[in-house]
Structure 1
Amino acid sequence: MKDLKRLWLISLFVKLILAALLPLSADEAYYWVWSHRLQLSYFDHPPMVAWLFYLGHFLEPLLNSVRWPAVLLGHCGIWVGVELLRKHIDLEKVRVWIYLVLFSPLLGFGSLIVTPDLPVIFFWILSIYCFDLVLQKKDLKSYAALGCALGLGFCAKYHIVLFVPAILLYLVFERKWREVNWKYVPVTLLTGLLFCLPVILWNYQNDFQSFRFQLDHGFERPDYKAEWTISYVIAQILIIFPWVFWSALRAKVPAPLRYLIYFAWFPLIFFFGTSFKALVEANWPIIAYPAVFMLAVLYPRMQQWYRYYVGFFGLLITLAVSMLFIPSLRNMDPKVSEPFDYQKLAKETVEYQPLYGNSYQMSSSLWYFSKTPVFKLSGISRYDYFDTFPEAKPQGNKFYLVKREGNGLPQWLSEQQWTYQEIKRVAPDFVVLEFTRP
């Protein structure tokens, strides 16, 4: 057990150092902006990611350590998984599970990036742990804890709702209805509702626009394209890793852990189904991975195969870190260089006030790196949190807009007789415009 604690602590230390050194991505900066205007919930996602950034505000003078509260929470999810597994399997298999998580591209290196995925993974693993307690102890405390974990998970990301049908499938197909202490089920429902109340209240107050946005986002395309499903299947096998995927399928699962089958495969099958309606982003089934890895370590040959997994993804992580820290390498990929481009852009445009951006990514990044509010110009891109700000439309007779070359302008600018002139260009493809009106 000491070796597991040492592995957990060393990996936490490495994560915290890297998290402080890496500049925030555009999406992270967006959530950081949320944390400066706290709400019960938000249009794009539930509020947990903003709350975690808020807790890190006092760390901002220390590079990018504002990430630390979220990174620490995510890493604690690994230890919750350890506490769950060590009750049922030997510690060597638990150690392999830790390595599978640490070197997973999304659960490992990806856990340095603070998005709603980070807290939802923690609460998904915690919910599995609490469900295990429910099956073992069948007491009031365990049922209440499960409701708390699920409610807080709903404040992290809506995908936590898939936990409930996974439980129901387990109870039906494994014939475990008699193991449920039904008199305590209302306690789970009440505590779950109580802890997700901020999200429910915000949506009620805002015409359920966040719920509707997420449903439309997942089922938005009228015509099916086979590449959606093909790309989803290939991406998930590669992210999980073929040998790990095979091991999880072939594992002989002991009776006390049979529920892992449903927490692993149901989310993957669910998003496979949605791939017939719309393009599924690679990270959406991330909640399935902890249980998939738990199943994989139950397959005997995984004790040898995990070394190939660690070697392969360890090499990819090394290359990714090298690209981030070596300018000549990161400039090879626009997405890798994007945070550094925005960091430079913030220095080049800080003198222009009031300054607007042409997307939530640009505005958020400029705001974070300059520590000066930069709003997105209303209507210049798809509707998001910035469009709810009264500052989204300029109030005076002059403002500045920084945008990528080729991007358009909203119609209301010409309707209100705004005229503009180009005053500066910033590499690689940014342009600063000055707008005035009579």
Structure 2
Amino acid sequence: MTSKLSKTFIYFLGTLFIINLVQSYFTQLIFDESYYWYYAQNMAWGYFDHPPMVALLIKISSFFFEGELGVRFMSCILSVGTYIILWDLVDNPIKRKYIPHFFALGFSITLLNAYGFLTLPDTPLLFFTALFLWAYKKFLERENVWSAIFLGVVMAALMYSKYHAVLVIAFVLLSNLKLVLNKYAWLAVIVALLCYTPHFIWLYENDFVSIKYHLTERPNQAYSFSKFTAGFFLNLVALFGLTFPLVYWSLYKTKITDTFIKALVYLTYGVILFFFISSFNRRVQTQWIIVIAIPLFVLTYQYTLQNPNFRKWLYRLAVINIVLLTYARFWLVHQPLLPITYESHRNREWVKEITDKVGDMPIVFENSYRNAPMYAFYTGNTSFSLNNIMYRQNQYTIDSSEYKVQHQKVLYVSGYLSGGDVTLRNKNGDIYYGKYIEDFESFRKLRCIVDVESFDLDSNEELVLKVYNPYQEDIDLKKIKFNVAYTNDYKKVKETQPLKTDLKDGQTPFLKAKDTTYFTFKLPKPKMEKPGYAKLSISENGLYTGLNGKTIPVN
């Protein structure tokens, strides 16, 4: 593939690579990047929110560099690879005359720019979407065992990047249903499933926690046209900036001339339609639709080559986009360029403020899977996110990080404290507090299990609560209290109440290690009207009640 690249193309590509390397070095991490860096400290076949590809990229980057570049180096490499693949996907001999237009289009796409150096799950998703389409194109040209195996491996890599990848595969398949009867296509599927088996095993061993969270546990909110559906259309615009009318016009004007072009069109319309329908149920984030940037890039550049007037206007608007995005890149490094503080600003400063006051003492951040890894990245010190019922589950819920702070003197940092031993300021200058806990002890891995499909508030029935203790030691019941949280129909907690429980006959006043203890209880009546769901939870040692039970509908 690279043998077809001209010197001009390589110069542009090299410039892009250097720009992204410099940007990576001077831009502080954003919160999600620090969270995925935290993933990479303990490599696994899966993580709470995502498959493991993003962690693998960071781990590989760390072999070459330290600091921010040790998180982002592989993103810069993948960005180069994405442009090379996109170039090869365009079948038009005159493309060599319009290399500046090719890069102008790429540089002008907002998130294609961002994921050229930021390391997020969408970074490998973009690269492997492009590689998948390239592998599929080669498969169409020559169907054989080797092209099928390669296609299968790429499909697995795509799925290891982000679960949204299933849409890419599904809509390409939908564009060519004859593949259902193709033995080589089935070989590709089998290879993909075999390669993806380690992640399936991880999901099984972790009780499908990722799938359950994304499909059933995730909080939502009441439908709002402006936030949901209108927001979705705004995202379609934001993805391409000023060039958006020309990009979508090229999609509209594209004629399906072969099976591969049909795949690009189906993929684009399919993803747009899928998330348009989704927008009537939940808010669609811009990065969820990022995969359409790959087929639309190819279709737009193809149309650019065929239409001189369109080419002229696309180039002009792309240049304006590039100027704006270049300013934004400088702003990511130097905050005074805009009166807005972003995630990449002042991280070293607020982290240093804490260490100046407490040294290398372990820090327990309440409800912040964002602050905990950011603090750990910039200090190398121990941190932990203690998640309670008002927050959400995350990687700190399922990994072993809780053990690192047990029975340690810690600084407990919370945005809910009205005062404390230490006064702090976040990056925006807002005051929050920390208090010292001499002997920190939490039991956030305790599981509350009730074998019912729903709770009946009109019933006075006595129910059975099973509490599983996964720890290596018994837990004295004097250390814990049971609670119930009631949520609205969108799973947002609105009320918590103490839950009176009684040990079943023959049970000891301990939660036995690696064992299940049985209680009986009656569900207290909520004060709120018409709760949607209830969750049973546990508070330990005076800490705010945790995330210990699943969300159960209330009748």
TM over 0.5: yes
Q: Which residue of 2 aligns with 1:370?
A: 379
Using the TM superposition, give the Cα deviation of residue 222 of structure 1 relative to its aligned residue in structure 2, in angstroms.
7.0
Question: Could you tell me how far apart the structure 2 residues matched to 1:346 and 1:184 are?
Answer: 58
Task: Verify: 1:30 aligned to 2:35, yes or no.
Answer: yes
Question: Could you tell me how far apart the structure 1 residues matched to 2:62 and 2:354 are?
Answer: 20
Q: Which residue of 1 aligns with 2:183?
A: 183
Residues 361 and 382 of structure 2 are in contact (CA less than 8 Å); yes or no, is this contact kept in structure 1?
no
Using the TM superposition, give the Cα deviation of residue 390 of structure 1 relative to its aligned residue in structure 2, in angstroms.
4.0
Question: Could you tell me how far apart the structure 2 residues matched to 1:331 and 1:10 are?
Answer: 29
Using the TM superposition, give the Cα deviation of residue 334 of structure 1 relative to its aligned residue in structure 2, in angstroms.
4.7
- Residues 78-157 of structure 1 mapped to structure 2, 5 A cutoff: 78-86=83-91, 90-92=95-97, 96-157=101-162
* TM-superposition CA deviations, 1:73-92 (whole Å, max 9, x none): 23312111212224677334
Q: Which residue of 1 aligns with 2:536?
A: none
Query: Cα 1:73–1:198, aligned 2, differ >3 Å: closer, same or farther?
Result: farther
Higher helix share: 1
Using the TM superposition, give the Cα deviation of residue 343 of structure 1 relative to its aligned residue in structure 2, in angstroms.
4.5
Task: Verify: 1:425 aligned to 2:420, yes or no.
Answer: no
Using the TM superposition, give the Cα deviation of residue 331 of structure 1 relative to its aligned residue in structure 2, in angstroms.
5.8
Using the TM superposition, give the Cα deviation of residue 202 of structure 1 relative to its aligned residue in structure 2, in angstroms.
0.8
| From 310, 313, 317, the counterpart of 2:318 | 310
Using the TM superposition, give the Cα deviation of residue 408 of structure 1 relative to its aligned residue in structure 2, in angstroms.
5.8
Query: Cα 1:319–1:431, aligned 2, differ >3 Å: closer, same or farther?
Result: farther
**Structure 1 stretch 100-109 or stretch 386-395: which is displaced more?**
386-395
Question: Could you tell me how far apart the structure 2 residues matched to 1:94 and 1:132 are?
Answer: 22
Residues 330 and 336 of structure 1 are in contact (CA less than 8 Å); yes or no, is this contact kept in structure 2?
no
Residues 335 and 341 of structure 2 are in contact (CA less than 8 Å); yes or no, is this contact kept in structure 1?
no
Task: Verify: 1:355 aligned to 2:363, yes or no.
Answer: yes
Using the TM superposition, give the Cα deviation of residue 317 of structure 1 relative to its aligned residue in structure 2, in angstroms.
1.6
* TM-score between both structures, scaled by the size of structure 2: 0.70
Quote the sequence identity (%): 23
Query: Cα 1:91–1:258, aligned 2, differ >3 Å: closer, same or farther?
Result: farther
* TM-superposition CA deviations, 1:197-219 (whole Å, max 9, x none): 2221111111111122223478x
Query: Cα 1:222–1:245, aligned 2, differ >3 Å: closer, same or farther?
Result: same
Using the TM superposition, give the Cα deviation of residue 378 of structure 1 relative to its aligned residue in structure 2, in angstroms.
4.0
**Structure 1 stretch 93-102 or stretch 275-284: which is displaced more?**
93-102
* TM-superposition CA deviations, 1:161-186 (whole Å, max 9, x none): 112321232125xxxx2x88712122
Query: Cα 1:395–1:343, aligned 2, differ >3 Å: closer, same or farther?
Result: closer
In structure 2, list runs of 5 or more residues that go unmatched. Answer: 1-5, 441-555
* TM-superposition CA deviations, 1:325-363 (whole Å, max 9, x none): 334336633545363554444644560512122301000
Residues 145 and 188 of structure 1 are in contact (CA less than 8 Å); yes or no, is this contact kept in structure 2?
yes
Query: Cα 1:390–1:188, aligned 2, differ >3 Å: closer, same or farther?
Result: closer
- Residues 269-418 of structure 1 mapped to structure 2, 5 A cutoff: 269-299=273-303, 300=307, 301-329=309-337, 332-335=340-343, 337=345, 339-345=347-353, 347-348=355-356, 351-358=359-366, 359-379=368-388, 381-392=391-402, 394-396=405-407, 398-404=409-415, 407=416
Query: Cα 1:87–1:130, aligned 2, differ >3 Å: closer, same or farther?
Result: farther
Question: Could you tell me how far apart the structure 2 residues matched to 1:262 and 1:186 are?
Answer: 21
Question: Could you tell me how far apart the structure 2 residues matched to 1:385 and 1:399 are?
Answer: 20
Rg comparison, structure with higher value: 2
Q: Which residue of 2 aligns with 1:15?
A: 20
In structure 1, list runs of 5 or more residues that go unmatched. Answer: 410-419
Question: Could you tell me how far apart the structure 1 residues matched to 2:339 and 2:438 are?
Answer: 35
Give the residue type in structure 1 aligned to 2:359.
E
Q: Which residue of 2 aligns with 1:236?
A: 236
Give the residue type in structure 1 aligned to 2:274.
F
Using the TM superposition, give the Cα deviation of residue 384 of structure 1 relative to its aligned residue in structure 2, in angstroms.
0.7
* TM-superposition CA deviations, 1:372-391 (whole Å, max 9, x none): 22111243732111122444
Question: Could you tell me how far apart the structure 2 residues matched to 1:46 and 1:71 are?
Answer: 20
What RMSD over aligned residues (CA atoms) do the two structures have, in Å? 2.7
Give the residue type in structure 1 aligned to 2:47.
Y
